[in-house]
Amino acid sequence: MIAASVNWTDNERYVGAATSRHAIVLDTAKEKTANSPMELVLIGLCGCTASDVVGILRKKREKFTALEVKASAERADGYPAIYTSIHLTYVVTGEVSKKAIEDAVKLSKEKYCSVSAMLEKSAKITYTIEQIM
């Protein structure tokens, strides 16, 4: 089981922790001193799919030297202001076959990434791949 909690600290700031016992600061004010909860959702999506892609490329013995996953998103106008569309950009550096990258991203999106699977219930998720040799 995974558990999480958040404690209010001051103003619009909170400290959250989960089963791993690592803490993170959240901020819901207009002038942010930390990531907002919705920003953390996007960071979680990027981390989840990046982890999948790295694992798959390693198993394929591809010679990549860097991976960056960037997300941009649109939210609904009213409340709850859920994500309605998310675009992921995968930037892969190294001598990696285009097919290997495409297969890894597709497997992450369609099979492995739990965060993506949850978000796709309300948001259309698209992606592009950029390769740097």
Q: Can you give the CATH number for the domain in which 95 is found?
A: 3.30.300.20
pLDDT, position 133: 86
d(CA 50, CA 115): 11
The predicted-structure confidence for 3-37, as pLDDT tens digits, reads as follows 999 999 999 999 999 999 999 999 999 999 999 99
pTM of the model as a whole = 0.95
- Is 101 in the same domain as 127? yes
- Is 17 in the same domain as 30? yes
Range of the domain at 2: 1-35
67 touches 104 (CB < 8 A): no
DSSP letters of 39-108? HHHHHHHHHHHHHHHHHHHHHTT-EEEEEEEEEEEEE-SSSS--EEEEEEEEEEEEE--HHHHHHHHHHI
Q: List average pLDDT for each run of 10 residues in the chain, which is 133 residues long.
A: 96 96 96 96 98 98 97 97 98 96 98 98 98 92
Which sign does the torsion angle of CA 24, 30, 32, 38 carry? positive
- Is 59 in the same domain as 115? yes
